[in-house]
Protein backbone atom coordinates (compact mmCIF):
# COMPACT_ATOMS: atom_id res chain seq x y z
CA UNK A 1 0.00 0.00 0.00
CA UNK A 2 2.01 2.99 -1.20
CA UNK A 3 1.35 6.40 0.31
CA UNK A 4 2.28 9.32 -1.94
CA UNK A 5 2.64 12.77 -0.41
CA UNK A 6 3.33 16.11 -2.03
CA UNK A 7 3.33 19.68 -0.79
CA UNK A 8 1.81 22.54 -2.77
CA UNK A 9 1.32 26.22 -2.22
CA UNK A 10 -2.37 26.92 -1.51
CA UNK A 11 -4.33 28.22 -4.44
CA UNK A 12 -4.86 25.34 -6.85
CA UNK A 13 -8.47 24.42 -7.54
CA UNK A 14 -10.00 21.04 -6.65
CA UNK A 15 -9.94 19.83 -10.27
CA UNK A 16 -6.21 20.51 -10.62
CA UNK A 17 -5.45 18.74 -7.33
CA UNK A 18 -7.60 15.75 -8.37
CA UNK A 19 -5.71 15.50 -11.68
CA UNK A 20 -2.41 15.66 -9.81
CA UNK A 21 -3.41 12.93 -7.33
CA UNK A 22 -4.68 10.66 -10.11
CA UNK A 23 -1.48 11.19 -12.11
CA UNK A 24 0.78 10.53 -9.11
CA UNK A 25 -1.09 7.31 -8.32
CA UNK A 26 -0.80 6.13 -11.93
CA UNK A 27 2.94 6.75 -11.98
CA UNK A 28 3.46 4.79 -8.76
CA UNK A 29 1.33 1.90 -10.04
CA UNK A 30 3.40 1.82 -13.23
CA UNK A 31 6.44 0.97 -11.09
CA UNK A 32 4.98 -0.83 -8.05
CA UNK A 33 2.45 -3.67 -8.24
CA UNK A 34 -0.25 -1.89 -6.23
CA UNK A 35 -3.99 -1.92 -6.73
CA UNK A 36 -5.69 1.44 -7.33
CA UNK A 37 -7.78 1.24 -4.16
CA UNK A 38 -4.63 0.55 -2.13
CA UNK A 39 -2.72 3.56 -3.46
CA UNK A 40 -3.10 6.60 -1.22
CA UNK A 41 -2.30 10.14 -2.31
CA UNK A 42 -2.08 13.11 0.05
CA UNK A 43 -1.60 16.77 -0.79
CA UNK A 44 -0.39 19.04 1.97
CA UNK A 45 -0.88 22.72 1.33
CA UNK A 46 1.10 25.63 2.73
CA UNK A 47 -0.02 29.23 2.62
CA UNK A 48 1.87 31.48 0.20
CA UNK A 49 3.06 33.54 3.16
CA UNK A 50 4.71 30.40 4.57
CA UNK A 51 6.64 29.53 1.43
CA UNK A 52 9.74 31.07 -0.11
CA UNK A 53 12.34 29.90 -2.59
CA UNK A 54 15.70 31.62 -2.37
CA UNK A 55 14.20 33.86 0.30
CA UNK A 56 11.56 35.13 -2.12
CA UNK A 57 7.87 34.39 -1.41
CA UNK A 58 6.13 32.52 -4.21
CA UNK A 59 2.58 31.99 -5.37
CA UNK A 60 1.29 28.97 -7.26
CA UNK A 61 1.80 29.00 -11.02
CA UNK A 62 -1.09 28.35 -13.35
CA UNK A 63 -1.91 24.67 -13.94
CA UNK A 64 -1.56 23.24 -17.42
CA UNK A 65 -4.83 22.28 -19.09
CA UNK A 66 -5.43 18.53 -19.41
CA UNK A 67 -3.47 17.45 -22.48
CA UNK A 68 -6.47 15.50 -23.76
CA UNK A 69 -8.65 18.64 -23.63
CA UNK A 70 -5.93 20.63 -25.39
CA UNK A 71 -5.77 18.11 -28.24
CA UNK A 72 -9.59 17.93 -28.46
CA UNK A 73 -9.68 21.74 -28.81
CA UNK A 74 -7.05 21.52 -31.58
CA UNK A 75 -9.15 18.88 -33.36
CA UNK A 76 -12.19 21.18 -33.14
CA UNK A 77 -10.17 24.05 -34.63
CA UNK A 78 -9.12 21.76 -37.50
CA UNK A 79 -12.68 20.57 -38.11
CA UNK A 80 -13.97 24.15 -38.15
CA UNK A 81 -11.46 25.00 -40.90
CA UNK A 82 -9.94 27.83 -38.82
CA UNK A 83 -6.26 27.70 -39.83
CA UNK A 84 -5.27 30.64 -37.63
CA UNK A 85 -6.84 29.09 -34.55
CA UNK A 86 -5.37 25.65 -35.32
CA UNK A 87 -1.91 27.15 -35.88
CA UNK A 88 -1.99 28.70 -32.40
CA UNK A 89 -1.80 25.17 -30.93
CA UNK A 90 1.42 24.31 -32.82
CA UNK A 91 5.14 24.84 -32.26
CA UNK A 92 7.07 26.44 -35.12
CA UNK A 93 8.79 23.03 -35.61
CA UNK A 94 5.50 21.10 -35.83
CA UNK A 95 5.58 18.06 -38.13
CA UNK A 96 2.73 15.79 -39.16
CA UNK A 97 3.11 12.42 -40.87
CA UNK A 98 1.08 9.41 -41.82
CA UNK A 99 2.17 5.84 -41.08
CA UNK A 100 4.16 5.71 -44.32
CA UNK A 101 6.15 8.76 -43.28
CA UNK A 102 4.51 11.12 -45.76
CA UNK A 103 4.34 14.70 -44.51
CA UNK A 104 0.92 16.24 -43.99
CA UNK A 105 0.55 20.04 -44.01
CA UNK A 106 -2.00 22.00 -41.99
CA UNK A 107 -4.41 22.23 -44.93
CA UNK A 108 -4.23 18.43 -45.28
CA UNK A 109 -4.95 18.01 -41.56
CA UNK A 110 -7.95 20.33 -41.80
CA UNK A 111 -9.26 18.51 -44.86
CA UNK A 112 -8.90 15.13 -43.14
CA UNK A 113 -10.59 16.40 -39.96
CA UNK A 114 -13.94 16.79 -41.70
CA UNK A 115 -16.17 13.90 -40.71
CA UNK A 116 -13.93 12.54 -37.97
CA UNK A 117 -15.61 11.34 -34.80
CA UNK A 118 -13.39 10.91 -31.75
CA UNK A 119 -14.33 8.21 -29.27
CA UNK A 120 -11.38 8.33 -26.89
CA UNK A 121 -8.37 10.39 -25.80
CA UNK A 122 -5.57 8.96 -23.63
CA UNK A 123 -2.54 10.68 -22.19
CA UNK A 124 0.98 9.38 -21.54
CA UNK A 125 3.77 11.39 -19.92
CA UNK A 126 7.50 10.94 -20.34
CA UNK A 127 10.52 13.03 -19.33
CA UNK A 128 10.47 15.24 -22.42
CA UNK A 129 6.82 15.65 -23.37
CA UNK A 130 3.24 14.45 -23.17
CA UNK A 131 1.77 12.08 -25.73
CA UNK A 132 -1.95 12.08 -26.42
CA UNK A 133 -3.47 9.19 -28.33
CA UNK A 134 -6.82 9.84 -29.98
CA UNK A 135 -9.01 7.07 -31.35
CA UNK A 136 -11.97 7.48 -33.63
CA UNK A 137 -13.76 6.85 -36.89
CA UNK A 138 -13.99 8.61 -40.21
CA UNK A 139 -16.78 6.93 -42.16
CA UNK A 140 -16.04 3.19 -42.03
CA UNK A 141 -12.32 3.70 -41.34
CA UNK A 142 -10.85 3.64 -37.85
CA UNK A 143 -7.93 5.84 -36.90
CA UNK A 144 -5.47 6.40 -34.10
CA UNK A 145 -3.61 9.67 -33.85
CA UNK A 146 -0.58 10.42 -31.69
CA UNK A 147 0.03 14.03 -30.70
CA UNK A 148 3.31 15.06 -29.09
CA UNK A 149 3.00 18.04 -26.77
CA UNK A 150 6.27 19.80 -26.00
CA UNK A 151 5.97 22.54 -23.41
CA UNK A 152 2.52 23.97 -23.98
CA UNK A 153 2.15 23.31 -27.73
CA UNK A 154 1.80 20.40 -30.15
CA UNK A 155 5.12 19.60 -31.82
CA UNK A 156 4.29 16.38 -33.65
CA UNK A 157 1.47 14.31 -35.08
CA UNK A 158 1.21 10.83 -36.59
CA UNK A 159 -1.92 9.06 -37.82
CA UNK A 160 -2.64 5.37 -38.37
CA UNK A 161 -5.78 4.38 -40.26
CA UNK A 162 -7.51 1.11 -41.09
CA UNK A 163 -10.06 0.53 -43.78
Got the DSSP string for 47-90?
A: -GGG-EETTEE--PPPPPPPHHHHHHHHHHHHHHT-HHHHHTTE
Domain boundary assignment for the chain: 3-57, 67-162
In the Cβ-directed half-sphere of 91, how many Cα atoms lie within 13 Å? 16
CB 140 within 8 A of CB 80: no
For the structural domain made of 67-162, what CATH number should be given?
3.10.450.50
**Mind listing the pLDDT tens digit for each residue in 140-161?**
899 999 999 998 999 999 999 8
- Note the pTM of the prediction, 2 decimals: 0.80
**Mind listing the pLDDT tens digit for each residue in 91-132?**
999 999 988 889 999 999 999 898 899 999 999 988 889 999
- CATH number for the 3-57 domain, one of 3.50.50.60, 3.30.429.10, 3.40.50.300, 3.30.200.20? 3.30.429.10
Q: Quote the mean pLDDT of the chain.
A: 92
Amino acid sequence: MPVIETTLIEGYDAETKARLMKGMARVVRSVIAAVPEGTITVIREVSPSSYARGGIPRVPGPPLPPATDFVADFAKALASGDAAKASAFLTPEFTATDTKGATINLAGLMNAAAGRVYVRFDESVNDENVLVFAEGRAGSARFIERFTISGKLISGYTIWTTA
